[in-house]
Amino acid sequence: MELLLQLFVLLPLLGYVISLFIPEKKERTLSAVAYSTVGIYLLALIAFTINWLIGPHKALNLKDVIIYHSDEYEFYIDFYFDRITAIFAFVGGFLTFLITIYSRVYLHRENGYKRFFNTILFFFLGYNITVFSGNFETLFMGWEVLGISSFLLIAFYRERYLPVKNALKVFFIYRIGDIGLILAMWLSHHLWHENITFAKLSNYEIIHEHLQNHSFEGTIVALMVLIAAYAKSAQLPFSSWLPRAMEGPTPSSAIFYGSLSVHLGAFLMLRTYPFIENQYIVRGIMIAMGLFTSFVAMNIARVQSSVKSQIAYSSISQIGLIFIEIALGFETLALIHFAGNAFLRTYQLLVSPSVASYLIREQFFNFNPAHRGANKFIPKKLMNSVYLLSLKEWNLDQFNYAWLWHPLKKGGRIFKFVRERHIWMIFLPVFILGVIASVNKELLSIDLVRVLEIVFALIGLIMVLRAFAEYKNVVMSWWLIALNHCWIALAVSFNENFSITETFLYLSGALVAAIFGTIILKKIRNKEGRLDISEFNGFAVPYKTLAFLFLLCGLGITGFPITPTFIGEDLIFSHIHENQFFLAAIISISLIIDGLAMVRIYARLFLGPYSGSSVSVQHSS
């Protein structure tokens, strides 16, 4: 039966690839491919699950494809199936099937009909990679697919300013969560001395033995996983992104932010629960934060004027309770709660366009004054304070701006003095000297080596911060993202056993993507006569093909799982020692920021209202 697990990833992949080649005007064919793919998947899953339940229904683990193997490291795709996977896969398949049927009529003759179904199938592929993942590396692949498909669906109405702006905000929070997952993957390599699978993670004896000797490292891994889960599930302090994500079409809001994607943080905690079961500090944090999130989100939901925002905060409140259930060890209750909340929020969001008329009719014919009930026992000042805080959404947006977004922008502005000539005159000679030092590292003292590692990693961070702050020279910003990988490779090369082959594997995908991306940028500049990102240009209108190709190049340059750079990133972290947390943190932050810088370039170039000449619109790109 294990061999059949790959079927549940191959089916969405096949449907997605087929949908790419269907012409945009063939609406019936596009929708038919989408709901047929998900329908066949759902039938196959039901048959597979019934057969699994009839048998001994033990957890299934499939070590599917070994992508890279060396003496000290092995990168492989691993699939896993147990009752957690069964519930999440069934709910995901059933709701996606309903959404694809609903959307074929809802989006009829909508500009971007093909793009919507392409992205939904791409999302469904990422969702299944995540829920069927058998190790952190496979899960991270699906996690990345969900992140970029989320950005594309929120920015579906790409000719408008607000959806694009909110899509960037959401992607930013997702990338913050990615830092936690990357650091958890890095430290888990050293904790287990292998590419640990979730099957082994369920073995109590192995977990107990390792945590006895490495309790501090185990706590850090659990906290990093918790940060990733909180960001993905919109728990405090990251809750404000979920209502902003409702800018996309109603069907995508229902499937993404009401039912499936927003619950994947809870899925991550369920999957890693055997690891945190005996870490009572982490479980206590989950309970406390779950209670606080549930209370805050419930009160914000009660004062929302928008139906979608009310549903979003209600969902956040319920997910906070799910985290509490997981922390208390009530796995079955958490799974039931997830399924119920997913079905309810999907229904509410799908009928949300009609809710206003329903409420007006209800109020007109059956108006009943609200009774205070238990509120009469609560002090008036406390109620008013909570009410005002809830109206301001507890200043969550201001918190994220003050502590996350603005520091990043200010950091980029600090290094605005870095110009193209400085890269050639200063950074290139320093890089060459660094390579010479790395080749002769045995002649250097240990203290000097550790200092050089940090210095070169910080230079890479400066590169991406500068790329994030650049508005005029887009090509330079683009190459600063690529050069960040070179500085990261140089920093890690001072550690032992980081071979030339591994360096080439890491850099090959990013540099090739950078070259092709530069060709696209110059082609657009030649046609438009300008190329800057001081505003949203909307070049996706006249250059649809170039926009798609540039997005692929952007994903390649940031280590998305379509180039060898994705494997190389994992290799990089496998060579960072467990006592080099500062180095790992700097590299993980710079990798996250280069993804933000890339998406910012793509959004400002290709999304937003297009104001070019009529000649440009006629280009056949």
**What tens digit of pLDDT does each residue of 439-457 get?**
888 888 888 989 999 999 9
Residue 617 has pLDDT above 50, yes or no: no
The string of DSSP letters for 31-89 reads HHHHHHHHHHHHHHHHHHHHHHHHTT---EEEEEEEEEE-SS-EEEEEEEESHHHHHHH
Quote the CA–CA distance of 436 and 265 in Å, as a whole number: 44
Sequence-distant (6+) residues with CB within 8 A of 352 are 250, 307, 308, 311
Q: Which of 332, 308, 312 is nearest to 322 (CA)?
A: 332
d(C-alpha 344, C-alpha 168), whole Å: 28
549, pLDDT greater than 90: yes
Does 323 score more than 90 pLDDT? yes
- 406-443 burial, b at 16+ Cβ within 10 Å, e below that, comes to eebeebbeebeebeeeebeeebeeebeebeebbeebee
Helix, strand, coil fractions of the chain, as percent rounded to 5: 75, 5, 20
| Burial status of residue 160 (CB atoms within 10 A of its CB: 0-12, 13-18, 19 or more) | middle
Whole-number pLDDT of residue 127: 95
Q: What pLDDT, on a 0 to 100 scale, did the predictor assign at position 366?
A: 64
- 3-state SS of 436-480 is HHHHCHHHCCHHHHHHHHHHHHHHHHHHHHHHHHCCCCHHHHHHH
Give the Cα separation of 277 and 326 in Å (integer).
10
The pLDDT score that the predictor gives to residue 283 is 93
Q: Please state, in angstroms and rounded to a whole number, the distance separating the CA atoms of residues 290 and 265.
A: 12
- Of the chain, the percentage scoring pLDDT greater than 90 comes to 41
DSSP collapsed to 3 states, 552-603: HHHHHHCCCCCCHHHHHHHHHHHCCCCCCHHHHHHHHHHHHHHHHHHHHHHH
Give the SS3 label for residue 367. Answer: coil
384 pLDDT tier (thresholds 50, 70, 90): confident
Helices 380-391 & 280-302, crossing angle to 10 degrees? Answer: 90
pLDDT digits (tens, 9 = 90+) for 200-256: 887 777 777 777 777 788 888 899 999 999 999 989 888 888 888 887 788 888 877
- What is the per-residue pLDDT for 356? 64
Q: Measuring CA to CA, which residue among 541, 555, 514 is closest to residue 605?
A: 541
pTM: 0.91
Question: Who's near 62: CB < 8 A, 6+ residues apart?
Answer: 2, 3, 5, 6, 78, 79, 80, 134
Question: Who contacts 480 (Cβ-Cβ below 8 Å, separation ≥6)?
Answer: 423, 463, 464, 466, 467, 470, 597
Q: Which residues make beta-bridge pairs with 62?
A: 79
The overall average pLDDT reported for the chain is: 86
Cβ neighbours for 571, distance < 8 A, ≥ 6 positions apart:
68, 73, 75, 502, 505, 506
Please answer whether residues 78 and 69 qualify as being in contact, where contact means their C-beta atoms are separated by less than 8 angstroms. no
Write down the domain spans for the chain: 2-359, 415-617
The pLDDT value given to residue 372: 59
Q: Alpha-carbon distance 422 to 427, whole Å? A: 7
| CA gap 20, 117 in Å, rounded | 9
* Interatomic CA distance for residues 362 and 508, integer angstroms: 62
pLDDT value of residue 289:
94
pLDDT one-digit tens code per residue, 71-115 = 667 788 899 999 999 999 999 999 999 999 999 888 888 888 999
Using the predicted structure, report yes or no on whether residue 613 has a pLDDT greater than 60. no
Residue type, 74: E
Digit-coded pLDDT (tens) for 570-586: 888 888 888 888 999 99
Exposure letters 314-344 (e unless 16+ CB within 10 A, then b): bbbbbbbbbbbbbbeeeeeebbebbbebbbb
Could you tell me the two tokens for 360? Answer: 């007006």
Question: CA of 539: how far to CAs of 329, 398, 556, 597, in Å?
Answer: 51, 31, 20, 18
Tell me, what's the pLDDT at 368?
65
Choose between 376 and 443: higher pLDDT.
443
Give me the mean pLDDT over the 484-497 stretch. Answer: 87
